[in-house]
Amino acid sequence: MTEFHKLKVSRVITETRDAHSIVFDVPASLEHAFRYRPGQFLTLRVPSDRTGSVARCYSLSSAPFEGMLKVTVKRTAGGFGSNWICDQLREGAEIDVLPPSGVFTPKSLDGDFLLLAGGSGITPVMSILKSALDGGAGRIVLVYANRDEQSVIFADELASLAHQHADRFVVIHWLETVQGMPGVRSLRTLTAPYAGFEAFICGPEPFMLAAKEALGSEHGRMHIEKFLSLTGNPFESAEVEVVESGETTTLDVELDGAQHTFTWPRQQKLLDFLLSKGLDAPYSCREGQCSACACRIVAGEVKMLNNEVLDGEDIADGLVLACQSLPLTDDVSVTYE
C-alpha cells in the first residue's frame, strides 16, 4: 500500500453550479510530502457503500507559489467521485489523500505557452498558467472552451489575470452556445499564430483530439492530460505478483533519498518488485493510465507493456511507468524525483 495522509478540508469554494474547489489544510509536518509542480494531481479516497472506498484523481488548480493545496472538481453525470465531493465534502471534513503525482507539467516556466482547455480541463492548466505568470517571462495564450458563460470555471480570476498581465497573457473564450463545438478548423485558425509555443491540452476527449489534430505533429512540444477513473485502489493493500525464477537484472534505485541495489527478475514489473521489497514506491492505477508511478531511467533500458499518459517528450527524457516496466538490459538504474 502506498503511503497516504489524512488531510482536513479548510475551505470549499463554489466555482460554478457544477464545480467546487476543495482547499486542504496541510500541517507543517506534511509540507514536504505535499510539495508539487504546476499541473500535477492528487488522488483522493472517496467512501463507497459497495466497496468501502474508491480512488479518484483530481488536478490541482492552485499554483505552488500560492502556498495552497487546492483541487477543483466538476460534477459529471454518473460520476460517483465528483458527485460525492460536490454533495458531501464540507469544511472541517477529513479525507485520505496521496501525495501529488503527474507529468503534465512544464520543465521550465520561462518559455511561451499555448494552453488549450475544455470544461474542467482548466484545472491543471490554471496551475500552469498562474505559475508561468508568476515565475516566467514568456507569453501565454489560453484557449478555453465551455458550454456557456455560466460554465466558465475561474471566470473572474482569469479576467483579473488578463488585466494584470495584459502584456503577456491573452485568454480566448469559446462558448458552444454561441460558436458551436470547437472543431479542428476553428482551433487551427486560433492557434496558428502560436506555432512555436509549448502546448498543454486538457479537456473532454473530443476536444483534445480536435486540438491535437489542429496543432499537428509539426507543432513540436505538445502535452496532453487525460482524466480517467481508476479501477484499482491504492488505498488498499496491493496484490503483488511474485517472480522467483528466470533471468534477472541488476537494479539500482534511488527513492526518498535512499539508494538500493537489487536483483530484479526480468518477468516482474518494476513497481511490483519494489513493493515486494518493502519500498514505498508511489502508484495509483497500476494500469499505465495515471502517471502516479512515473520514474526516470538513468541507465539501462526497460519496455512498457502499456502507456496511456506519457508523451514522446516524456519518454525521450527517460520517464517510464513503473507499474508497466520490464527490464531489457542486464543493468538498470532508476530514480524517483
Q: Is 192 contained in some domain?
A: yes
Residue 17 and residue 97 in one domain: yes
pLDDT by position in tens, the chain (length 337): 568 999 999 999 999 999 999 999 999 999 999 999 999 999 999 998 877 888 999 999 999 999 999 999 999 988 899 999 999 999 999 999 999 999 999 999 999 999 999 999 999 999 999 999 999 999 999 999 999 999 999 999 999 999 999 999 999 999 999 999 999 999 999 999 999 899 999 999 999 999 999 998 777 689 999 777 677 788 887 677 767 668 999 999 999 899 999 999 999 999 999 999 999 899 988 888 888 999 999 999 999 999 988 988 889 999 999 999 999 999 999 999 7
Q: What is the CATH number of the domain that holds 286?
A: 3.10.20.30
Residue 220 and residue 253 in one domain: no
Burial of 149 (0-12, 13-18, 19+ CB in 10 A): exposed
Q: 32: which 3 cell numbers?
A: 514536504
Q: Is 218 contained in some domain?
A: yes
The residue from 69, 101, 133 where one domain ends is: 101
Beta bridge partner(s), residue 25: 8
Q: Is 235 contained in some domain?
A: no
DSSP secondary-structure letter at 96? E
Q: Is 236 contained in some domain?
A: no
**pTM, whole model, 2 decimals?**
0.89
Cα–Cα dist 109/137, whole Å: 8
Q: Is 234 contained in some domain?
A: no
The SS3 of residue 260 is strand
Domain that holds residue 81: 5-101
Q: Is 269 contained in some domain?
A: yes
Residue 124 and residue 211 in one domain: yes
